[in-house]
């Protein structure tokens, strides 16, 4: 086993955090900004990439790959430098669920949306996954590039809303909103399909494309992607600013107020 063997507990329901227990000299890596708290005896170190690179060029190449996925150039490593067990905790950036994935159980690789990685045992490689089909990259909702997590240790990803797990058999197809995919195993085939139909396209309100996931493998689906939540908040804020809330009653109120 190449990755550090860490233990963990996940706390909370809608706003979750994960507590990582480190034995002496064990290390966990995380995204900047996800840190919540840690005990005395844990040393924090900021580094380029995920810490698996050799030499300056390797570090720069890894940092460049992270930049392409929209992530921070730096990652943070937390190492237990004491003689006893210590805990460090990380929190998700928005309401949703934290998913613990043991990469050794999924063939050593998971593909996930580019902003879902939270933290992992030292030794897990955080890279990029290029979609082979141009159409998938242009219309897949997550862009041409997704993240890949490789290794044989524990890694943690976060999602929006509730998480649904689906096990796809060989040849089984699941059609999903493009923004609702959190992660899938390496054998799952990912493509995008045109919704089809003039009424569906113009009035369906679900976009022009949906994602098509083909088995075998496992997929994780989120019920409330952050992009959908942000769009609704923006829509509500714009309506409030323009005084459009309340429809007919709102218009009557504005007339009474002289507006």
- CA dist., res. 227 & res. 145, Å (int): 17
| Report field, pTM of the whole predicted structure over 0.85 | no
Task: Using the Cα atoms of residue 112, residue 117, residue 122 and residue 126 in order, give the sign of their dihedral.
Answer: positive
250-253 contacts: CB < 8 A, separation 24 or more? Answer: none
Cα maximum dimension of the chain: 73
- Residue pLDDT tens, the chain, 259 long: 577 889 999 999 888 999 999 999 999 999 888 999 999 999 999 887 666 666 666 666 666 666 665 566 788 999 999 999 999 999 988 889 999 999 999 999 999 987 889 999 998 988 888 665 545 555 544 445 788 899 999 999 999 989 999 999 999 999 998 888 999 999 999 887 776 555 545 544 455 678 889 999 999 999 988 777 676 777 776 655 555 554 444 544 444 444 5
pLDDT tens, 76-128? 999 999 999 999 999 988 889 999 999 999 999 999 987 889 999 998 988 88
Cα Rg of the chain, angstroms = 21
* Domain range list for the chain: 7-157+192-204
Strand order across the 86-91 sheet: 7-11, 17-22, 86-91, 35-38
**Would you identify the CATH topology of the domain 7-157+192-204?**
Double-stranded beta-helix (3.60.160)
The enclosing H or E element of 114 equals: none
Alpha helices (runs of H) in the chain, residue ranges in sequence order: 55-68, 134-139, 198-203, 226-242, 247-256
Contact 109, 150 (CB under 8 A): yes
pLDDT tens, 185-204? 999 998 877 765 555 455 44
- Closest of 20, 138, 148 to residue 90, by C-alpha: 20
- Closest of 179, 59, 60 to residue 115, by C-alpha: 179
């Amino acid at each position: 086993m190449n990755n550090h063997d860490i233990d963990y507990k996940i706390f909370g329901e809608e706003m979750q955090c994960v507590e990582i227990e480190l034995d002496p000299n064990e290390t966990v890596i995380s995204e900047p900004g996800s840190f919540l708290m840690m005990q005395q005896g844990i040393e924090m170190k900021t580094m380029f990439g995920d810490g698996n690179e050799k030499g300056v060029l390797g570090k720069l190449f890894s940092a460049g790959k992270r930049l392409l996925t929209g992530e921070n150039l730096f990652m943070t490593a937390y190492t237990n430098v004491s003689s006893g067990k210590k805990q460090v905790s990380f929190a998700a950036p928005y309401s949703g669920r934290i998913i613990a994935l043991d990469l050794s159980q999924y063939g050593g690789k998971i593909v996930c949306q580019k902003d879902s990685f939270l933290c992992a045992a030292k030794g897990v490689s955080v890279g990029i996954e290029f979609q082979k089909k141009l159409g998938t990259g242009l219309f897949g909702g997550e862009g041409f590039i997704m993240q890949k997590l490789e290794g044989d240790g524990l890694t943690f990803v976060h999602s929006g809303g509730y998480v649904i797990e689906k096990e796809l058999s060989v040849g089984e197809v699941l059609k999903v909103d493009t923004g609702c995919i959190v992660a899938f195993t390496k054998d799952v085939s990912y493509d995008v399909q045109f919704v089809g139909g003039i009424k569906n396209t113009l009035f369906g309100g679900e976009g022009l494309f949906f994602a098509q996931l083909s088995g075998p493998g496992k997929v994780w689906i989120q019920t409330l992607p952050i992009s959908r939540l942000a769009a609704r908040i923006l829509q509500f804020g714009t309506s409030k600013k323009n005084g459009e809330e309340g429809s007919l009653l709102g218009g009557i109120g504005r007339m009474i107020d002289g507006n």
